[in-house]
């Protein structure tokens, strides 16, 4: 049997991250040949990867990286099977390195073929599957380019990127704050204006059906019924709809005996409430129309405009949660 030195074992361990005993066994099997030992460890990883292919890899680390001039950002999630592995420092370091490599790619497929210390990323993942003993894979991959890109990571579980139309003063804070909103509230589009009429109509029917079903049970229990909205998006609130809402509000004020001379002070609040009650889809799905998490008295769009002549031109989100 070929004898291997501690220095050789340690060298192989540094190259692969494998355990000391696995490195020693691989070197002995390879008769001291370092490259052959690495190939043996990779084959072990391939076997484990094949056995664990059907395993759920919902844990991991989501990492964002932005280039030096803040014009491109990526989010990559390195997925594994258990939270124990996900919290390991070396695993998070690998995820960070993958994100840095991903900055020079434009797709997940390109990332998998990119170089990682002399091997492809795909090969590195197989190798680490053998080292760690869990299914390791790239889960989420998102890339965003814009005149200014900023990021936010929440507990290595959710990553978000925000693209701005220009690099205004404190653009880094603005982009981070909006990315925090994206991470927290999970918008799917920038504005209600991006919704298709068919999508809004379908969502309206579905939401009303759910509320009406809930109200049947609430009524049976003698509890207060939920309000059934006529509309769920600003897209539906045409000038005619808003004019009708104003007339209804005036009729309500008259019935309540409110003096007509004070109506102008009350009506704006009632119309604002009407709009809020009938734009629930926008609040959930449209980033700029959501209430800003740091100041719910204003929308995200209003917060962005407080920075001057700048717009949000895009955003991306990857979540392990």
pLDDT value for 34: 82
pLDDT value for 142: 97
**To the nearest 10°, the Cα dihedral for 100, 102, 106, 111?**
160
Model confidence at 45, pLDDT cuts 50, 70, 90, reads: low
With beta carbons less than 8 A apart as the criterion, state whether 167 and 148 touch.
yes
| pLDDT score of 14 more than 80 | no
Least-confidence region, from 54-68, 103-117, 180-194, 295-309: 54-68
Beta strand 59-66 with 72-80 is antiparallel
pTM given for the model: 0.81
| pLDDT score of 100 more than 70 | yes
| Residue closest to 129 by CA, chosen among 194, 49, 55 | 49
Complete domains list, the chain, with CATH = 6-51 (1.10.8.10), 59-185 (3.30.479.20), 192-305 (no CATH)
- Phi, psi for residue 190 in degrees, rounded to 5: -75, -50
Average pLDDT value for residue range 264-280: 93
From residue 9, give the alpha-carbon distance in Å to each of 5, 123, 156, 259.
6, 21, 32, 89
Q: What percent of the chain has pLDDT over 70?
A: 96
What pLDDT digit, counting tens, does each position of 211-238 carry?
999 999 999 999 999 988 889 999 999 9
| pLDDT score of 13 more than 90 | no
| pLDDT score of 46 more than 70 | no
pLDDT value for 48: 67
């Amino acid at each position: 049997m070929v004898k291997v030195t501690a220095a050789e074992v340690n060298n192989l361990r540094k190259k692969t991250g494998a355990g000391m005993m696995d490195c020693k066994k691989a070197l002995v099997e390879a008769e001291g040949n370092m490259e052959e030992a690495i190939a043996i460890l990779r084959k072990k990883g391939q076997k484990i990867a094949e056995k664990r292919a059907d395993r759920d890899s919902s844990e991991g680390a989501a990492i964002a990286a932005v280039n030096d001039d803040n014009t491109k950002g990526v989010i990559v999630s390195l997925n594994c099977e258990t939270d124990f592995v996900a919290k390991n420092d070396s695993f998070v370091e690998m995820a960070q390195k993958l994100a840095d490599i991903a900055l020079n790619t434009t797709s997940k497929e390109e990332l998998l073929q990119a170089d990682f210390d002399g091997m492809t990323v795909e090969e590195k993942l197989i190798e680490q599957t053998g080292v760690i003993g869990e299914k390791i894979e790239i889960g989420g991959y998102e890339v965003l380019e814009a005149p200014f890109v900023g990021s936010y990571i929440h507990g290595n579980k959710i990553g978000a990127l925000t693209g701005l139309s220009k690099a205004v003063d404190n653009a880094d804070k603005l982009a981070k704050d909006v990315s925090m909103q994206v991470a927290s509230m999970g918008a799917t589009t920038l504005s209600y204006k991006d919704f298709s009429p068919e999508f809004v109509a379908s969502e309206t029917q579905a939401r009303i059906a759910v509320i009406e079903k809930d109200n049947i049970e609430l009524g049976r229990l003698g509890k207060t019924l939920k309000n059934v909205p006529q509309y769920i998006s600003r897209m539906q609130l045409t000038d005619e709809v808003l004019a009708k809402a104003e007339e209804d509000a005036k009729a309500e004020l008259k019935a309540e005996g409110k003096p007509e001379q004070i109506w102008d002070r009350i009506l704006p609040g009632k119309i604002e409430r009407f709009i809020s009650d009938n734009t629930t889809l926008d609040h959930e799905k449209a980033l700029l129309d959501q209430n800003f998490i740091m100041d719910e008295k204003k929308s995200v769009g209003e917060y962005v405009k407080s920075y001057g002549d700048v717009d949000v031109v895009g955003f991306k989100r990857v979540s392990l949660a």
